[in-house]
Amino acid sequence: MPPHSCHVNQKRNQMNQHVPAAPHHTYRIACDGACNTNHIKSPFRKVGWGFTAIRSDGRTAERSGTCEGDGESNNTAELEAVIQALSFLQPGSNVTLLLDSNYVLKGATEWLEGWKRKGWKKADGKPVLNLRRWQILDDLMQTRNVTFEKVKGHAGHVMNERADALAVAALA
């Protein structure tokens, strides 16, 4: 399988490139992914990802980008958005991630520890899909204080709608 490549397309922020961990600040970050070829068999696939962040002092930041390669899907886009969001923060940061993705939410909060115990295998003994990204996410979660909050997609949640718009625009 050829390597995946990911690119950052858009930067808009009132925070520094990487936000220093500050015990008195917390972060709320909505993450989303988009894929316009999710149900098409194609040797080349492109997905978009986006996140919007608000720090407890009201400062904001947004990022979006694309990933290209065989095997990219809406799930990989959702994972990449979370990876990019956590990578944006310094280790030690306190963050609540707002997600509409059951795949990422359940993977991070219910399945991850079992996958690791089983040598990165699923309950059926098959390898975990998107392994490289799950391992990166696991590493990032070990060095940040992360909580997850489920939001309903396309239901008017302001931050989720903005993250979705960033992800979709990245594909344009």
- Give the pLDDT score at 24: 67
Say whether pLDDT at 114 is over 80. Answer: yes
Q: In angstroms, how far apart are the furthest CA atoms of the chain?
A: 48
Tell me the backbone φ, ψ of residue 62, rounded to 5 degrees. -140, 145
- Average pLDDT over all residues of the chain: 88
Tokens of 108: 């991070």
pTM: 0.89
- Give the pLDDT score at 71: 85
Q: How many angstroms separate the Cα of 94 from the Cα of each of 24, 138, 141, 156, 158?
A: 9, 16, 11, 25, 21
Spell out the long-range contacts of 147-152 with Cβ–Cβ below 8 A and sequence spacing 24 or more: 147/95, 147/96, 147/97, 148/96, 148/97, 148/99, 148/105, 148/108, 148/109, 149/96, 149/97, 149/98, 149/99, 150/99, 150/100, 150/102, 150/105, 151/30, 151/98, 151/99, 151/100, 152/100
Ranges of H-type helices in the chain: 74-88, 102-106, 112-117, 131-142, 158-171
* Predicted confidence (pLDDT) per residue in 6-65, tens digit: 666 655 555 545 555 555 689 999 999 999 876 667 767 899 999 999 999 999 999 999
